[in-house]
């Protein structure tokens, strides 16, 4: 699908989505972003676009000498990890309930944490250096060091998940979705508040779009904390993946795992586009440079895709991060019941209670439509269908 261009006050808006299907509030957010004097070239909008706090989910924003913390969001470094196993469908037991129970026992979900430190040298390198850097973060988070330690390797709630999936050839995959947990949220909220009070941000069309400017102490502090939180999120997924794979190792003797694919989809990166060095913010979008492997999940009853980037320069080498919500959590809880959820997740071993009705597949866009809309951004490597889904 070719992108649709809409004129903006400062730069254009390029959408890989049908403009008629974008909520009015989300379109206004995009116009506000396009009006900022720091926004570079154009705003790239992914096919899973929907309204978000501050900046639109499914937006890719490049800025020269500036960055907006709300355009990253509060779950700094949130992203996906997936790995193909040597197991095939016939290796799985008829009842998958015990496997789900074992996964939930291994990885704390929702508000739960580990009782002690769960990370090891098997998960990532330089743990001592990483935790030592905690002391250099903004003072507001230092009292959270104990929580950050025991949340490392935990799932959280909302749309975060752990899945066991099958590809179209019957191969078993493991996939998980999580971010920087509570510590990333605290850091983000702090810096968003700082940015909103800066003089150059007064009079913006949306105060949540406040930016930090290069060369200022506020920008330096934010980037320092941001990159640490992005690393926390990456490590968090690595610990969870090892815990999940250990569950499979205990249940399936000799199981092997390919090299994992891991991507952020709420983050900032220093990149060069159209010949200029810029700060690229992807909120609900993945990097899809030429040959980059990526993960685009659907909802808990539909399926997901492993993709390879095509390096489309007009999208700032980006692609969607998932199916994207078509309905808010509040509306979904009002519109659907636990019985509806059970029907829409038939064949998937997962929670089917009222506590996760807001994650019902009908609250999300059709993942197949979303993939078709970005055929010039990524190519499909594998289509996965979950058979186990763990939610917080």
Helix or strand (DSSP H, E) at 220: helix 217-251
**Which residues carry a binding-site annotation?**
75, 159-163, 177, 265-266, 297-300, 304, 321-324, 391
CB 150 within 8 A of CB 113: yes
By the 10 Å C-beta count (0-12 exposed, 13-18 middle, 19+ buried), 146 is classed as exposed
**Which residues carry a binding-site annotation for Mn(2+)?**
75, 160, 177, 265
* CA 119 to centroid of chain Cα atoms: 21
By the 10 Å C-beta count (0-12 exposed, 13-18 middle, 19+ buried), 94 is classed as exposed
- The token duo for 207 is 């105060």
**Which residues carry a binding-site annotation for GMP?**
159-163, 265-266, 297-300, 304, 321-324, 391
Query: Angle CA(88)–CA(93)–CA(97) in degrees, nearest 5?
Result: 120
269-291 CB burial, b ≥16 within 10 A, e <16: eeeeeeeeebbbbbbbbbbbbee
Q: Which of 42, 50, 190, 321 is an active site residue?
A: 321
* 264 catalytically annotated: no
Distances (CA, A) of 310 to 283, 360, 366: 19, 31, 22
Whole-number Å distance between alpha carbons of 267 and 131: 20
Whole-number Å distance between alpha carbons of 194 and 82: 36
| Residues labelled as active-site residues | 321
């Amino acid at each position: 699908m070719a992108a649709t261009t809409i004129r903006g006050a400062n730069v254009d808006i390029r959408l890989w989505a049908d403009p008629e299907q974008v909520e009015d509030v989300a379109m206004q957010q995009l116009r506000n972003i396009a009006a900022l004097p720091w926004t570079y070239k154009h705003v790239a909008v992914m096919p899973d676009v929907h309204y978000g706090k501050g900046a639109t989910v499914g937006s890719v924003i490049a800025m020269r000498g500036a960055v907006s913390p709300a355009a990253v969001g509060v779950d700094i470094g949130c992203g996906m990890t997936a790995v193909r196993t040597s197991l095939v469908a016939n290796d799985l037991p008829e009842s998958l309930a015990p496997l789900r129970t074992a996964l939930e026992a291994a990885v704390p979900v929702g508000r739960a944490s580990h009782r002690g430190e769960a990370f090891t040298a098997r998960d990532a390198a330089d743990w001592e250096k990483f935790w030592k850097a905690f002391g250099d973060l903004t003072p507001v988070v230092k009292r959270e060091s104990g929580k950050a330690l025991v949340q490392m390797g935990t799932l959280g709630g909302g749309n975060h998940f752990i899945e066991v999936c099958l590809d179209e050839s019957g191969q078993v995959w493991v996939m998980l979705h999580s971010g920087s947990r509570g510590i990333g949220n605290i850091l983000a909220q702090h810096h968003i508040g700082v940015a909103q009070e800066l003089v150059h941000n007064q009079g913006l069309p949306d105060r949540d779009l406040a930016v930090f400017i290069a060369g200022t102490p506020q920008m330096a502090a934010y980037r320092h904390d941001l990159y640490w939180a992005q690393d926390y999120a990456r490590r968090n997924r690595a610990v969870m993946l090892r815990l999940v794979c250990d569950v499979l190792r205990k249940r399936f003797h000799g199981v092997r795992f390919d090299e994992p694919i891991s991507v952020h989809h709420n983050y900032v990166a220093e990149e060069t586009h159209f010949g200029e060095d810029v700060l690229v913010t992807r909120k609900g979008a993945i990097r899809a440079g030429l040959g980059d492997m990526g993960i685009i999940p659907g909802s808990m009853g539909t399926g997901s895709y492993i993709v390879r980037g095509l390096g489309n320069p007009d999208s700032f080498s980006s692609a969607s991060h998932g199916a994207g919500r078509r309905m808010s959590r509040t509306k979904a809880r009002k519109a659907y019941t636990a019985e509806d959820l059970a029907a829409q997740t038939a064949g998937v071993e997962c929670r089917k209670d009222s506590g996760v009705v807001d994650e019902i597949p009908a609250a999300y866009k059709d993942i197949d439509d979303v993939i078709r809309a970005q055929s010039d951004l990524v190519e499909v490597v594998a289509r996965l269908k979950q058979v186990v889904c763990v939610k917080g």
